Amino acid sequence: MFFAGVDIGSTSTECVILNESGEIVAADMRPTGANSAKAAQAVLDSAVEKAGLDAPPHRIVATGYGRVSAPFAHKVVTEITCHARGVLHLFPQVRTIVDVGGQDSKVIRIGPKGNVIDFVMNDKCSAGSGRFLEVMARALEVELDDLGPLSEKSAEEISISSMCTVFAESEVISLVARAVPVEDIINGIHKSIVNRLASQMQRMNPEPDIVMTGGVAKNSGMVKKLSMAAGHTVLVPENPRMTGALGAALTAMGLERE
């Protein structure tokens, strides 16, 4: 018997397939694009193929902002719950999860029994999300993936005061015009996002272990800054984008037991 979790996010869609013992037998991801239903189906199909299954998984759970556009799902569960389950599976001691996705960021508090006890999510404003980084990377004409390594070369931390994405973009452009080193600007951008995340986190009384997930967790500069702000080492799963899908697959397993 196999179980699948599909996480349909704003930028990418992931799928994880587990066997009866809860081991990952396949994982796949692809950009969500304009048609999330199509992406969900496609990523499920390719994961099924990767796993070498000849029938669809026994139970499928969909999550993520596009969770309702997965007609094949037996159940729909929010990404808050799924991230918590996925991370808890990888890091049994986790108490705080910081997830920074494309459109939003969230902080989830896990209780001693492994259940979600509280969470916050950012509002419309994209400050503190992956989107903010994307806009800044574009303003700096730097690849998104290069932000982390570049920031670590910075000798000085420039302060980017504006929180608003639009304001910050013009501030960054004026720093470029004044020939401030790009590494320092990136370092400043990271700090500004981390301040925002730290503020969300503080409200939750964060306790270790703290785990960061979502695409932005791949940015080493951000993780270091967040660790400093939190006062604890922030842990990152090997594949920080997959925890939602993993949690969904674990939920699918749970469905069978019910």
Partner 1 sequence: MAQFVKTDAGKRLTRLITNGYMDNIVKAQQGAFVVWIAIIVPAEIFAGFDNVIYCVPESHSALCAGKGVGVSLCEKAENLGYSMDLCSYARIDMGCHFNQGADSPAGGLPKPDLLVSNNNNCTLLAKWFDVYHREWDIPHFILDIPFCYQPQKQRDMEYIVSQFQDLIQTVEKLSGQKFNPEKMAQAWENSVEAAKHWRRFLAAAKNKPSGITAFDSFVQMAPTLTMRGTPELAEHYRFLADETEARVDQGIVPAPNEKYRLLWDNIAPWHQLRKMSSRLGALDANIIAASYTYCIGSLEGSLDPLEFASLSPLEGMARVQNFTICPHGLQLRGQAMKQAIEEMDIDGVVFASNRSCKVYSLMQMDQQRYVQEELGVPTVMIDVDHADERKYSEETAFVRLEALLESIDEARR
Partner 2 sequence: MNAIQSQLKALHDAGKPVLGCFPLYPPLELIHSLGIAPAVLWGFKPYFPQVPLADKHLQNYACSVGRYLVEFVLQDAGETLDGLLMYNACDTLRNLPEIIGRGLAKDAALPLHTFHVPAVSMERRGAREYLKDRLDGLIAWLEAAFSVKFDPDAFEKSVNLYAEMRGLMQKAQKFAGEGKALFSELAELCGKLNFMLVEDQIAALQDFCGACEQKTPAPAGSRVAISGILPPPPEILKAMEGAGLTIVGADLANMHRAWAYSPTPSKDPAAYYADFYENHFPCTTLLPTADRRLPALESMLEDCRAGAWIFAGEKFCEHEYFELPYVEKALKAKGIGVLSLEFSLGDEQNLGSMKTRIEAFAEMIEK
Residue ranges that bind partner 1, judged by CB under 8 A? 161-164, 167, 170-171, 173-174, 195, 198-199, 202-203
Q: How far apart are the first and last CA of the chain?
A: 15
Applying CB under 8 A, does 163 fall inside the site for partner 2?
Answer: no
Q: What is the DSSP letter of 219?
A: -
Q: Which residues contact 144 (CB under 8 A, 6 or more apart)?
A: 133, 134, 137
* Number of chain positions touching partner 2 (CB under 8 A): 17
Amino acid found at 180 = V
Task: Report the distance separating Cα 28 and Cα 6, nearest Å.
Answer: 10
Residue 135 touches which of partner 2, partner 1, none (Cβ within 5-8 Å per kind): none
Residue from 80, 168, 185, 194 touching partner 2 (CB under 8 A): that is: 80
Tell me the closest approach of the beta carbon of residue 122 to partner 2, in angstroms: 9
Residue from 11, 78, 195, 220 touching partner 2 (CB under 8 A): that is: 78
Tell me the closest approach of the beta carbon of residue 139 to partner 2, in angstroms: 23
DSSP alpha helix (H) spans, 6-78: 36-51
Q: Work out the angle between the directed axes of helices 130-140 and 182-202 (0-180°, nearest 10).
A: 170
Tell me the closest approach of the beta carbon of residue 202 to partner 1, in angstroms: 4
Task: Report the distance separating Cα 195 and Cα 188, nearest Å.
Answer: 11
Amino acid found at 240 = P
The residue among 147 and 246 lying less far from partner 2, judged by its C-beta, is 246
Residues 98-137 that bind partner 2 (CB under 8 A): 103-104, 115-121, 123-124
Residue 167 touches which of partner 1, partner 2, none (Cβ within 5-8 Å per kind): partner 1
Residue 79 touches which of partner 1, partner 2, none (Cβ within 5-8 Å per kind): partner 2
Applying CB under 8 A, does 228 fall inside the site for partner 2?
Answer: no
Task: Report the distance separating Cα 121 and Cα 80, nearest Å.
Answer: 10
Residue 90 touches which of partner 1, partner 2, none (Cβ within 5-8 Å per kind): none
Residue 249 touches which of partner 1, partner 2, none (Cβ within 5-8 Å per kind): none
Applying CB under 8 A, does 233 fall inside the site for partner 2?
Answer: no
Amino acid found at 75 = K
Residue 171 touches which of partner 2, partner 1, none (Cβ within 5-8 Å per kind): partner 1
Q: How many CA atoms lie within 13 A of 151 on its CB side?
A: 27
Give how far Cα 44 sits from Cα of 61, 184, 242, Å: 11, 41, 14
The residue among 46 and 162 lying less far from partner 1, judged by its C-beta, is 162
Contact 232, 208 (CB under 8 A): yes
Amino acid found at 134 = E
The residue among 79 and 171 lying less far from partner 1, judged by its C-beta, is 171
Burial of 54 (0-12, 13-18, 19+ CB in 10 A): exposed
Residue 115 touches which of partner 2, partner 1, none (Cβ within 5-8 Å per kind): partner 2
